[in-house]
Amino acid sequence: MEVTISIPTALRPQVDNKDTVKVTGSSVREALGALTAQYPELGKRLYAGENELNRFINVYVNDEDIRFMDNLDTALKEGDEVSIIPAIAGG
């Protein structure tokens, strides 16, 4: 299924300066896999290990953190919005 991934400013140089990229995938893992296959430089920044996201990056599906769902195995449906957002301080 087709989903939209929104890309934060810091990562846009790696995706031809686009703010969103459409990919297909039935899980977050597949969608991000499709994204990084298309843009390998992005993959280096997104992942810390093969199955582990960089810990300073949070991924949301329709505004919910994937760590509250099934992490990279979180299922996606047609039209879902996946957001990649850097961790931010505050309080």
Partner 1 sequence: MSYVSCLRCKECGAEYPIEPRTVCDHDFGPVEVAYDYEAMRGKVTRQSIEAGPRSIWRYRDLLPVASEPRVGLNSGYTPLIKADNLAAELGVRELYIKDDSTNYPTFSYKDRVVAVALMKAIEFGFDTVGCASTGNLAHSVAAHAAKAGLTAFVMIPHDLEEGKIIGSQVFSPRMVKIRGNYDDVNRLCSQIADKYGWAIVNVNLRPYYTEGAKTHGFEIAEQLGWKLPQHTVVPVAGGTILPKIWKAYQEFITLGIVEDNKPKMYAAQAAGCNPVVTAIEENSDLFRPQKPQTIAKSIAIGNPADGYYVIKVVRESGGYGASATDSEIIDAIKLLARTEGIFTEPAGGTTLAAAIKLIQQGRIPRDESICVCITGNGLKTIEVMHGQFAAAPVINAKLSEFDVIVDEIKEKAAAATATAGV
Contact residues: partner 1, CB under 8 A: 8-10, 13, 45, 54-58, 60, 63, 65, 67-68, 83, 85-91
Q: Are strands 20-24 and 81-86 parallel, antiparallel or unpaired?
A: unpaired
Q: Taken in order 42, 39, 9, 2, is the CA torsion positive or negative? A: negative
Task: Say if CB 42 and CB 14 are below 8 A apart.
Answer: yes
Residue 43, judged by CB atoms within 10 A of its CB (0-12, 13-18, 19+), counts as middle
Query: Closer CB to partner 1, residue 31 or residue 84?
Result: 84
Q: What minimum distance in Å lies between the beta carbon of 80 and partner 1?
A: 16
Nearer to partner 1, 9 or 17 (CB): 9
* Cβ nearer to partner 1, comparing 1 with 6: 6
Q: Provide, rounded to whole angstroms, the least separation between the CB of residue 7 and partner 1.
A: 10
In 3D, which of 70, 15, 90 has the Cα closest to residue 59?
A: 70
Measured from the CB of residue 78, what is the shortest distance to partner 1 in angstroms?
Answer: 23
